[in-house]
Structure 1
Amino acid sequence: MTGTTEEQRLLRTWLVAHYHRVTGAGAPGRPSPAPPERSTLRAVAVLRDLDLTAFLNGTLAFAVAVPDELAGPWYGAFTRTLFLAGNPASLVHRVRFLHRTEDAMMAWTAPVHPERDPARQLSRMLKLFHGPVVWPGERRRITLRVPGAGRDGRSALLRVATARVSAAEYLIHLNHVLCESVLSGLLRPGDRLAIDHPAELDPRDVDVALGHAPRAPAHFRIAQDPHRPGALRLYAHLAVTEQTGELP
């Protein structure tokens, strides 16, 4: 992405629309979120290691498991999540996790206020998860299903930019777009999801191929580019295919 004025204007427009969607209407079908100044909930994820497929499946299962009374406020807090390095298996007797992967490699707490346990307890015990400076994952397509009984078996495609993205940044971007898509009802239990890993995402290509946000059945992750001060970058885009059938 070259970062032209046109591209930056488009990204800013999308970002403002997303802000108003989250802080205004909230998550469709879920309780309305608290105002931004009051919505401070934060989830905590503990990772012993980073297995990409396990992380994606675990994140979706965790998002589906978030109780309705917490879903709206956490959505209104932009699904803040703290990633810590540690062994969930050694913490199960001290911390109540909302979801753990079957191999106990990763675990998530329910969203809570940052000053309440278990968030405060874990923050004191463990260090931030950093991982490699450059994302080492394979740039291959991964396919999976959203946990739970499906209604119509829709298909979705998520594309995630990987160039100049660290493992920690990758986790943050994927966490936001997957959790927000589940909480908003864009991704539903039983939906099939394909994830591609191109080096870059050009917002102009997304606009042509997948429709104009925020009206299209899509979600995105836009954030500041640490390699280009003052510039925004499109890190992820998820689009749903309403019809059943093969993934695009």
Structure 2
Amino acid sequence: MAQIPSVGRSAGRCGEHWLRAELARRDERAAAALRPDALPPGGVSVPVAVLRFDPAAVVSGAMAFAAGLGRADADAWLHCYTRALFLFGNPANLAGRFPPALVAPGAALAWLGVYDARRTGQVRRLLRPVEGALPAAGPDVVAGADGRPEWLLRVASAGLDLPRYLVHVHHTVAEAVLTGVLPPAATVALRQVTALDPAVVEREDPAYVRIVPPAADSATPQPRPRLVAALTRTTPAR
């Protein structure tokens, strides 16, 4: 078997080939989840009300929410690439019109449910989108019951604002649970890094990755996909 180069242009090409293959696999998983004609018009989304930034609650809540979905909602959401909308709002004030499906401990965030386009639009008219800068990286944040991380989620935060960071973390965790890769009761360490090298991460054999496709309107002559998150197991399976 040919060695994967670790440096130079060849390593970059190998890493890009792996990224494109992973993107294709994600498309296959989404397509296999549900027939398009079984979706409501406009697909489905999950509005998440954010009272305050709590990255541990984002991870643990995304795991619990994804694990608690019925088969129909899980398949529809996966088919729509686990689309989520992060909106500023107090979960306590939404209970009347939009009872949350899941509220994080401390009520920092609430997952309203798997909504069709009409109901999502109603929420968007009521709450404003999360915006702002991503707080500076600090120590690892641990999400889980026992405090001893079995998994590590690294997010390449260079160039990310707060809403995009939330989207990447949420996508990675939710899809890993929905596809059976990440146990919903797992303990995960969340770490901000500047960047992730695809050639290095590929050799680590990650359990799940989040890759941003090349932008169709990019001014770069040959735009490349970008690796923004990698989930790896840090302890042997029990």
TM-score, normalised to structure 1, is 0.79
Note closer, same or farther for the CA distance 1:146–1:239 as it changes in structure 2 (3 Å cut). Answer: farther
Task: Judge conservation of contact 1:145–1:190 (CA < 8 Å) in 2.
Answer: yes
Displacement of 1:242: 7.0
> In the TM superposition, what are the counterparts of 1:96-135 in structure 2 within 5 Å?
96-115=99-118, 117=119, 119-132=120-133, 135=134
What amino acid is the match of 2:35? Answer: A
Q: What's the CA shift string for 1:28-65, capped at 9, x where partnerless?
A: xxxxx233884711110111221222222222222222
> In the TM superposition, what are the counterparts of 1:98-177 in structure 2 within 5 Å?
98-115=101-118, 117=119, 119-132=120-133, 135-145=134-144, 155-177=150-172
Query: 1:23 pairs with 22, 31, 40, which one?
Result: 31
Task: Judge conservation of contact 1:146–1:193 (CA < 8 Å) in 2.
Answer: no
Task: Judge conservation of contact 2:57–2:143 (CA < 8 Å) in 1.
Answer: no
Q: What's the CA shift string for 1:57-106, capped at 9, x where partnerless?
A: 22222222222221111111110111111222111112121011232221
Q: CA RMSD in A?
A: 2.9
Counterpart-to-counterpart distance in 1, 2:25 and 2:36: 16
What amino acid is the match of 1:106? Answer: L
Report % sequence identity.
Answer: 27
More helix by share: 2
Query: 1:220 pairs with 205, 209, 227, which one?
Result: 209
Listed as ranges, the gaps of 5+ residues in structure 2 are 1-7
Counterpart-to-counterpart distance in 2, 1:79 and 1:146: 24
Displacement of 1:120: 2.5
Aligned to 1:207, the other structure's residue is in SS state: helix
> Which residue does the alignment assign to 1:30?
none
TM-score, normalised to structure 2, is 0.82
Counterpart-to-counterpart distance in 2, 1:65 and 1:37: 21
> Which residue does the alignment assign to 1:29?
none
Counterpart-to-counterpart distance in 2, 1:191 and 1:238: 12
Query: 1:10 pairs with 6, 18, 24, which one?
Result: 18
Note closer, same or farther for the CA distance 1:235–1:23 as it changes in structure 2 (3 Å cut). Answer: same
Q: Are residues 1:237 and 2:227 paired?
A: no
> Which residue does the alignment assign to 1:34?
35
